[in-house]
């Protein structure tokens, strides 16, 4: 019969010290196993910021005039379809951020095409996301302007393009160029996405992509309206626009938005109002203090997509407390 005494004699464990040594061996072996397992688990590469937001236009040339003539962004390159019709154009905010504009594929649909996140290692990110159960392609593709990327779909159904600026691509070749001093902003701080399935969306962006929440707010004080999540390796963020039920596709432009940082909102609005295009724009631009206590103003492109101009700091320099209101049900 195999007894404890037999085990002790078999391994020479006749003293408390011997038992202690066995414990140390087991502990060391367990640590080695954990380290080996960790080494086999793909690590997430850096996600450094928002690369671009892509929107659809019903009247492509009219929208080009809005982003170019009114907001002052230059077009470093545009793409055409095989038949010569416009495919998309790129409005440059800075060396790492763009606004993409494409002709609509179908009328009366959501104006948001996709958002794009920048990474420093596209293949490592693809492998990492696959290890987390996210559906990814077999490899990243090289786009028509020479960058590397692939698309994933978040739990809400938004297309999220993972993007790496590649050496030799047109984005890298355009560094330091096509940035007019007339442009309304030099940085896109965040993009807004409609969210109805908060738990799944929050898990995707925080637990898988590594975003961190830094503020949440409510427009009424009774129901939560927004949650702000910062990219893991930068200061750009995504703003969850919370709804119990998503708005009709033709009324999503206010929620699906981009935010452009400006040092002085009132001065920026005055500059826009002095432009010839302002007569074409044809609506007042109101400066106000947001719930986050930052001065801001809203613009709307010809399809209703909201462009939020916002100052970087609160009106008194003090942080705005987050809301404790519950999310919409």
CB-CB contact of 275 with 269 (8 Å): no
Q: Which tens digit of pLDDT belongs to each residue from 235-285?
A: 999 999 999 999 999 999 999 999 999 999 999 999 999 999 999 999 999
Model confidence band, residue 16 (pLDDT cutoffs 50, 70, 90): low
In 41-109, which residue ranges form alpha helices assigned H by DSSP? 60-65
Domain ranges of the chain: 47-310
- Which of 20-34, 121-135, 196-210, 306-320 has the weakest average pLDDT? 20-34
Give residue 166's pLDDT. 96
3-state secondary structure 45-62: CCEEEEEEEEEEECCHHH
List the one residue out of 265, 205, 208, 214 whose CA is nearest residue 235.
214
Return d(Cα 84, Cα 86) in angstroms, integer.
7
Please report, for residues 81, 127, 268, the alpha-carbon distance to residue 304 in angstroms, rounded to integers and kept in the order given.
25, 37, 20
Confirm whether pTM is higher than 0.85: yes
Using CB atoms within 10 Å of the CB of residue 197, give its burial: 0 to 12 exposed, 13 to 18 middle, 19+ buried: middle
**CATH number for the segment(s) 47-310:** 3.10.180.10
Helix (H) or strand (E) holding 40: helix 16-40
List the one residue out of 271, 273, 56, 270 whose CA is nearest residue 183.
271
Q: Which tens digit of pLDDT belongs to each residue from 122-143?
A: 999 999 999 999 999 999 999 9
DSSP structure class, residue 70: I
Helix (H) or strand (E) holding 258: strand 257-261
Give residue 41's pLDDT. 84
Model confidence band, residue 39 (pLDDT cutoffs 50, 70, 90): low
Phi/psi of residue 318, nearest 5 degrees = -100, 145
pLDDT > 90 in the chain, percent:
88
- Sign of the Cα pseudo-torsion (87, 92, 97, 99, in order): negative
C-alpha 302: how far from chain center: 23
Return d(Cα 227, Cα 195) in angstroms, integer.
10
251 contact partners, CB below 8 Å, separation of at least 6: 304
Overall average pLDDT of the 22-51 stretch? 68
325 contact partners, CB below 8 Å, separation of at least 6: 218, 220, 221, 222, 223, 224
Model confidence band, residue 17 (pLDDT cutoffs 50, 70, 90): low
| 3-class DSSP state of 250 | helix
Return d(Cα 299, Cα 282) in angstroms, integer.
11
| 3-class DSSP state of 26 | helix
Return d(Cα 287, Cα 303) in angstroms, integer.
21
Give residue 230's pLDDT. 98
Give residue 112's pLDDT. 98
List the one residue out of 312, 259, 281 whose CA is nearest residue 53.
259
What's the mean pLDDT when you consider all of the chain?
92
Q: Computed over its alpha carbons, how large is the radius of gyration of the chain?
A: 26
Q: Which two tokens stand for residue 296?
A: 């801001």
Cα dihedral 154, 139, 126, 112 in deg (nearest 10): -30
Q: Are strands 226-230 and 287-289 parallel, antiparallel or unpaired?
A: unpaired
| 3-class DSSP state of 313 | coil
Overall average pLDDT of the 296-305 stretch? 98
DSSP structure class, residue 116: E
Compute how many other C-beta atoms are within 10 angstroms of the C-beta atom of residue 253: 19
């Amino acid at each position: 019969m195999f007894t404890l005494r037999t085990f002790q004699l078999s391994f020479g464990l006749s003293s408390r010290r011997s038992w202690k040594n066995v414990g140390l061996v087991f502990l060391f072996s367990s640590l080695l196993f954990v380290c080996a397992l960790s080494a086999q688990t793909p690590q997430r590469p850096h996600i450094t910021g928002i690369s671009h937001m892509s929107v659809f236009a019903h009247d492509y040339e009219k929208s080009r005039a809005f982003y170019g003539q009114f907001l002052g962004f230059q077009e470093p390159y545009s793409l055409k379809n095989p038949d010569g019709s416009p495919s998309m154009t790129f409005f440059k905010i800075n060396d790492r951020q763009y606004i993409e504009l494409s002709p609509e594929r179908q009328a009366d649909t959501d104006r948001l095409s996709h958002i794009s996140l920048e990474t420093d290692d596209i293949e490592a990110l693809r492998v990492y996301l696959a290890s987390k159960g996210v559906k990814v392609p077999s490899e990243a593709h090289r786009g028509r302007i020479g960058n590397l990327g692939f698309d994933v779909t978040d739990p809400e159904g938004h297309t999220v393009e993972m993007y790496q600026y590649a050496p030799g691509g047109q984005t890298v070749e355009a560094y330091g160029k096509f940035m007019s001093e007339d442009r309304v902003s030099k940085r896109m701080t965040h993009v807004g996405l409609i969210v109805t399935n908060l738990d799944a969306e929050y898990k995707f962006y925080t637990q898988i992509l590594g975003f961190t929440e830094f503020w949440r707010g409510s427009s009424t004080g009774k129901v939560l309206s927004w949650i702000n999540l910062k990219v893991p390796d930068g200061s750009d963020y995504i703003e969850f626009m919370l709804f119990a039920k998503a708005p009709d596709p033709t009324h999503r432009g206010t929620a699906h938005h981009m935010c452009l940082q400006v040092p002085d909102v009132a001065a920026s609005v005055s500059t826009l109002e002095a432009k010839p295009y302002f007569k074409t724009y044809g609506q007042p631009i109101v400066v106000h203090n947001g719930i986050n206590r930052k001065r801001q103003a809203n613009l709307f492109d010809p399809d209703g997509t909201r462009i939020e101009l916002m100052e970087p700091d609160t009106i008194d320099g003090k942080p705005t407390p987050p809301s404790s209101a519950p999310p919409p049900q």
